[in-house]
Amino acid sequence: MDAHVLTSYLEQAQTISAGKLFGTFFAIWLSYWITIGVYRVYFHPIAHIPGPRLAALTFWYEFYYDVYPHKYQYGFKLRELHDKYGPIIRINPFHVHIHDHSYLDTIYATGNAHKRDRCSWSHHSGAKTFSGAMLEAMDHDLHKMRRNATSGFFSKRNVQALEPLIINTTNRLLARLKQDMTRDIGEGGQGIVNLNCAFAAMTMDIISEYCFGEGMNSMERPRYGKQMLDILHMGLQMRPIARQFPTLINWMFDLPPERVAYLSPEIVVMNEFNAGLLARITKIMNYEDGSGEKAGHRSIFHVFRDDPEVKLPPEEKEPFRLMAESSVFMGAGTETTARALAVTIYYLLKEKDIGSQLLQELKTVLPTKDSKVSLPQLEALPYLVSTL
Ligand code: HEM
């Protein structure tokens, strides 16, 4: 065989084998996904749960509503799907969604009889910054240990002990609102206040005082709690994409700040927020920050540091782990209650008969502007306990 013929033969063989190789890989890849698809739709343990076939087949269904081309719409789509398929539906290859409140005690069952791990998909856990939080503990026993260490802080008795703090912060909010009623605060006109931000200032200062023994000075900020609220919203808005691409997002969260700045300025801001929390916790755990004793209550992390009743191994008391816990407390304790208050006030003002009825009832326990009222007195009012 002469040299030319040999070269052209080898070239041809190379081309054929590259093409063949690609074809083989493609066929394997395709067969793999077809097998997965058939398994998910027909043989998966939740295959019998009603719901759209496409949702059972692929996560791209959820992506379509939550990430692109729609955004944050899957929750609303689920309502439509419940109308069509019933109270228990399959919403993606792994998950069911239940729209039936009688199921609450089954899902949130306590005790070891119902021992089950949580699923990292829905919480998108994994980034080092957040993985220390109770919310991010997927293992049943780890979650239980973290939860047991904190649940006492949110008992009715302990929350009631926060009454002076809550009253004091509410008074500061009222004083600030009074000022803003008469001056231009640059939010579209004189006396106009964004209630979400105003209540977020209040709730954030309360939960921050409870966590660390010091507030966030939100009431002194020009736009109340807006800056912090924006950071919390960034985190929440990242969840749908983080659920779809957890490895990528976790990797980005764990990058050093100078590198992640190129990819996501939002993550930089969130990590800076967490770094601020870490600094506070480190000070507390290193005994550089007093006892945290304030008007009848002690801060959560001072108790973590000092009280032998808080049963956690030393690694669970590391500042970095507690930073994640505090980050969830701050987020969970701020946005939820602030929004509930803002929406309530909106409807009380809009539905005048409801507003005035509540006002009449309140006057029975608060006859003058300076009267003082306790929580049990408020809780006994018919409108507030829905006994009408
Ligand atoms: C309107 C008020 C609130 C609502 C509607 C609300 C709702 C929720 C929901 C739906 C969860 C998720 C449960 C799960 O998936 O397992 C949760 C978890 C949590 N919430 Fe709230 N929440 C509110 C107020 C608060 C407040 C004031 C705090 C105080 C810090 C708080 C702290 C937490 C914590 C720490 C978790 C994680 C619990 C765990 O992993 O076991 N929440 N909340």
Check whether 64 has a pLDDT greater than 90.
yes
Virtual CA dihedral for 180, 184, 185, 187, nearest 10 degrees?
120
Give tens-digit pLDDT for 218-276: 999 989 999 989 999 998 899 899 999 989 999 999 998 888 999 999 999 999 999 99
The residue among 277, 294, 177 whose CA lies nearest residue 235 is 277
Ligand 1 atom 7, closest CA? 336
Distance of CA 388 to the CA centre of its chain: 34
**Helices and strands in the chain: count of H runs, count of E runs:** 18, 4
Check whether 47 has a pLDDT greater than 70.
yes
* Ligand 1 touching residue 333 (CB < 6 A): yes
Distance of CA 225 to the CA centre of its chain: 17
Q: Which residue has the higher pLDDT, 212 or 4?
A: 212
* Ligand 1 touching residue 338 (CB < 6 A): no
Report CA(151)–ligand 1 centroid distance (Å). Answer: 11
Atom of ligand 1 nearest to the CA of 328: 35
* Ligand 1 touching residue 207 (CB < 6 A): yes
For residues 186 and 180, what is the distance between their CA atoms, to the nearest angstrom? Answer: 10
The structure tokens 């005082």 sit at 209
Kindly tell me the burial class for residue 146, based on how many C-beta atoms sit within 10 Å of its own C-beta (0-12, 13-18, 19 or more).
Answer: buried
pLDDT of residue 212: 96
Ligand 1 atom 11, closest CA? 332
Atom of ligand 1 nearest to the CA of 122: 15
The residue among 92, 211, 96, 204 whose CA lies nearest residue 150 is 211
For residues 209 and 168, what is the distance between their CA atoms, to the nearest angstrom? Answer: 12
Inter-residue contact 183 to 190 (CB < 8 Å): yes
Inter-residue contact 291 to 302 (CB < 8 Å): yes
Ligand 1 atom 27, closest CA? 333
* Ligand 1 touching residue 147 (CB < 6 A): yes
Check whether 388 has a pLDDT greater than 60.
no
Share of the chain above pLDDT 90, in %: 68
Report CA(336)–ligand 1 centroid distance (Å). Answer: 8
Report CA(78)–ligand 1 centroid distance (Å). Answer: 21
pLDDT of residue 15: 64
Give tens-digit pLDDT for 99-158: 999 998 888 877 667 788 888 877 766 788 888 999 999 999 999 999 999 999 999 999
Q: How many residues does the chain have?
A: 388
Ligand 1 atom 43, closest CA? 332
Check whether 169 has a pLDDT greater than 60.
yes
pLDDT of residue 188: 58
